[in-house]
Structure 1
Amino acid sequence: MTEPATQASSRSATEPHARQPKTGIQRGALTGWLLFAAALSSIAGALSGLVPPQVPGALAWAAGLLLFRRLGGLQRIQVLLMLSVGAAGLLQAAYQGELLIYGAQALANSQVLIAMLVAVGFLRLVAVPAAAGNSTGNTGHTDSTNPVSLPRGRAALWKTLLGTHLFGAAINFSALTIIGDRLHSAHPLQPLQAIALSRGFSLAALWSPFFVAMGIALTLAPGSSLLPMSLGGLSVALPALLLAGYCLARRKESPDFAGYPIQPEALRIPLVLVLLVMAGHQLLPWLGILSLITICGLSLPLLLLLYQSRHQGARRYRQHIEQAVPGMHGELLLFLAAGVLMAGISALVHYSGIELSLQHFGAAEAAGLVGLSALAAIFGIHPVITVSSLAGMLMPVVTDPNLLGLSILMSWSLGVVVSPCSGTHLAMQGRFGINAFRFFGWNWRFGLGLYGLCCLVLFGYEALFS
């Protein structure tokens, strides 16, 4: 998700399950360690080749089965829909006597993504945005209802938009909840604040290597590369951020906008994380980028925490495994179901002989995929369902996997912006009491502008590189 299939009705991704019954706490701790073991075994397999991908897949499924009861209504429908379609394909494979082949695919398909999902959650332990004390905005007046005043004005709006984007790029949904909670603690979150958080966070999915959207793109578009896709996504994200800020700053309530007081030095760790991944990708090209992100996500927070305090650092790391990791149940089950869906569709396409009439996948087709995914997202169909269903059928005619990967990133980001049912907006509804359906009314015009930017970049990319 967070992006996207995030914890829509709870604070489980960022808070301990303090009031759960003892059995619930024990089950949560067990699932946390199962997922941590899945991430470690995924890394071991990537580094040595000795651990089959089905091992971390099985560990993730064990955790997923224990966490299924936590799913909300919409997420449960999405997961069951994907599992049903995937199971139909696996039944066809069983009829053909090849269930073991496609079943192994279903078990292994999402294990690298899930390992990355687990790992990036640890980044919030060391990359939490710091708030400046007693800051003021460009108007000079402050919010006196809180011990630490919130800066006000259009400058505060821009800083909140960009801060949410940058920290969201590093620590995903945790940034949204941390910044949102700080704003909400002074006064109930206002529409302008909610829109700034929604747009700033969603646009990070266009380029951030730490967003699961990038993992999905690299998985569904074999042969695609991180750097060209990140640069392509940035070429959309930067003008989209300017457009978002300009439109919000023109609103009559913008001079009184209460923003998040971010200190510039808080950007150091997110910047180091991005540079580490980029450098590691160049030095170790044989190691998959998702595995590299997983290694950084698990190891860097542990090293920094132990450096600060050996005892306290180890305790915080363990608490995160047992309390925060199980809170990723929405994303976990969505990606487990996506793995079954991909394997099932692969079997259905193979045995039925279904073929798309497309002879070529270019910018026009990529723009169509982005538009179709956005329309589906408005009606509650998660972008991962749309792109997982179509990517396998598109691959035979894809000559530039980066173009397909870029369209997947755009589908994810645009889908989150316009969908009232996205995990981001449902989570903000549950956390801050803002009706998720209001986000469509607030964002649909911006969504049209974002789609136009996506199309411009897709056609520009095709003209320059394809």
Structure 2
Amino acid sequence: MNPKIAALCGWLMIVSLVLSLSSELLNLLPSYWAGVPIWISSLFFFPYVKPTQKKQIIILVIFGMFGLLYGTMHHLDARYFIRTLEANQTVVTMLIGVGFLRIFAADNVQTKEALPKGGHSLTKTLFGVHLFGAVLNMSSVVIVGDKLAMQRPLSPTQGLTLLRGFAICAFWSPFFAAMGMTLTSAPGSHLSTLIVYGIPVSIIALLLSAWEIRNQPDAEQCLGYPIGVQSLWMPCLLAIIVIVEHNIWPNASVLSLVALTSVTFIALWLFIKKGKQRPKIAKRHIEVGVASSAGEVVLFAAAAMLASGVASILTSLNIQLAPDHFGAVAAIITLLVLVVLAMTGMHPVTSVVLAGSILAPSVTDPNLLGLTLLMGWSLGITFSSFSGVQLSIQSRYDLQAKTLLRLNWRYVLIMFIVCAATLWLYAFQHPYL
């Protein structure tokens, strides 16, 4: 990417972050103002987006524009255009805020220790990638994967470890993009409820993954990443802070709290640790590091247009595609559909937005829909050879898609059953559904 464009868009994203937090926490201005810098940046970012994402973004924008125009011809009001202008700004704000944590990761996660070997070290790597990924998102995969690849080419077992550790975060992490899109697509869902049900599912997924990885034929010859307890305090601390903040300010957006917590943490850490270097480090991240999220920024903006367009068409035609009752059976069927859509190459952002838009009229408990969306996101990116994390692992570490597919199908089948049982249990415990 052109350095000047990267720097310009980096500062535009900071403007959007400030406007979004000002709107959400202080009510100083309408929220759609924060979407303006996002759309401007998206226009600059688009030429640099990966070809696979670019095609999907074009389709989202075309369908979204068609829906908005159709609604306009049928005399709908301007609320759908305002929703488009907002550009999923709360999710983008979280993405940019969490991105600042890479500064901490680059300084603290890397280590000169010799890489350990064996199944036990792979298990530690799995849990370490999971906890880092819960806060740092894809950065955790790249940081750990690059460290392992410096010694020797990554084996499929190591690639599987990275993929599972990262994808399982979608079940529960408040810092993960999945949670951001879910809270937006299932309005009224509660972070605490989603985490309470998501963590047990993620523990089962981690234990199953650890058992599978340690039983791979080459497990004892594989190198792991030396992650110690001292490296994991930051993800745990930030997650606890966000949960506490949400209980103190229940009306504030969780996404805004995540962004504010992340930026505040890095500001304090730079002030304490880096002295005179802190302005230079922060400036470099804004002008260089923010551009690494270009694909996600454009995709979230396009998804906002699609959601508005779909809602506009459904309202104009008075069509209801949702079932009469969204209970356990409908949730399990939706989960299956989300996984199938992921296998076709549809990005989880798109499928989650579509599911939220279509099912909203029949949802009586948004937490059930929220759990379904999170589960669909996690299983989808684990199973689909076209998911962003899989494409990154395949291309960056020269691993074959069919190999990862072969290693994942049993896990996805078992976890689908676990997720279906969890959804049924939630519905059983809430009989008013």
For normalisation by structure 1, the TM-score amounts to: 0.90
> What percent identity do the matched residue pairs reach?
35
* Corresponding residue of 1:70: 48
How far off its partner does 1:267 sit? 0.9
SS at match of 1:126: helix
Q: Deviations over 1:153-176 (max 9, x none)?
A: 111011011111111001111111
* Counterpart pick for 1:119 among 69, 94, 97: 97
* Corresponding residue of 1:434: 399
Unaligned runs of 5+ in 2: none
In structure 2, do the counterparts of structure 1 residues 93 and 234 end up closer, same or farther at CA, with 3 Å as the change threshold? same
How far off its partner does 1:299 sit? 1.5
How far off its partner does 1:109 sit? 4.8
| Contact 1:120–1:294 under 8 Å retained in 2 | yes
In 2, the alpha carbon distance for the partners of 1:290 and 1:367 equals 27
For normalisation by structure 2, the TM-score amounts to: 0.96
Equivalent residues, number: 430
* Counterpart pick for 2:80 among 81, 98, 102: 102
How far off its partner does 1:309 sit? 2.1
For 2:241, the aligned partner's letter is: L
Tell me whether 1:451 sits opposite 2:416 in the alignment.
yes
* Corresponding residue of 1:365: 330
* Corresponding residue of 1:140: none
* Corresponding residue of 2:278: 313
For 2:83, the aligned partner's letter is: Q
| Contact 1:127–1:266 under 8 Å retained in 2 | no
Counterpart mapping for 1:273-292 below 5 A: 273-292=238-257
How far off its partner does 1:83 sit? 1.0
In 1, the alpha carbon distance for the partners of 2:349 and 2:102 equals 24
Most deviating of 183-192 and 119-128? 119-128
How far off its partner does 1:131 sit? 5.2
In structure 2, do the counterparts of structure 1 residues 178 and 157 end up closer, same or farther at CA, with 3 Å as the change threshold? same
Tell me whether 1:130 sits opposite 2:109 in the alignment.
yes
Tell me whether 1:38 sits opposite 2:3 in the alignment.
no
How far off its partner does 1:99 sit? 6.2
In 2, the alpha carbon distance for the partners of 1:305 and 1:203 equals 30
* Counterpart pick for 2:197 among 232, 242, 246: 232
For 2:21, the aligned partner's letter is: I
In 2, the alpha carbon distance for the partners of 1:79 and 1:291 equals 25
In 1, the alpha carbon distance for the partners of 2:46 and 2:283 equals 23
Tell me whether 1:55 sits opposite 2:72 in the alignment.
no
SS at match of 1:354: coil
In 2, the alpha carbon distance for the partners of 1:298 and 1:132 equals 24
In 2, the alpha carbon distance for the partners of 1:410 and 1:220 equals 14
In 2, the alpha carbon distance for the partners of 1:104 and 1:59 equals 14
In 1, the alpha carbon distance for the partners of 2:364 and 2:181 equals 18
How far off its partner does 1:431 sit? 1.9
Tell me whether 1:386 sits opposite 2:341 in the alignment.
no
How far off its partner does 1:186 sit? 0.4
Tell me whether 1:89 sits opposite 2:67 in the alignment.
yes
For 1:431, the aligned partner's letter is: R
In 2, the alpha carbon distance for the partners of 1:282 and 1:465 equals 22
SS at match of 1:186: coil
| Contact 1:126–1:269 under 8 Å retained in 2 | no
For 2:92, the aligned partner's letter is: I
| Contact 2:91–2:255 under 8 Å retained in 1 | yes
Unaligned runs of 5+ in 1: 1-19, 134-147
Aligned residues: CA RMSD: 1.4
How far off its partner does 1:359 sit? 1.2
Q: Deviations over 1:120-159 (max 9, x none)?
A: 11112224563565xxxxxxxxxxxxxx421011110110
In structure 2, do the counterparts of structure 1 residues 38 and 460 end up closer, same or farther at CA, with 3 Å as the change threshold? same
In structure 2, do the counterparts of structure 1 residues 357 and 189 end up closer, same or farther at CA, with 3 Å as the change threshold? closer
In 2, the alpha carbon distance for the partners of 1:127 and 1:322 equals 18
Q: Deviations over 1:282-307 (max 9, x none)?
A: 11122111111111121210111111
SS at match of 1:94: helix
SS at match of 1:208: coil
In 2, the alpha carbon distance for the partners of 1:311 and 1:264 equals 30
The structure that is helix-richer by fraction is 2
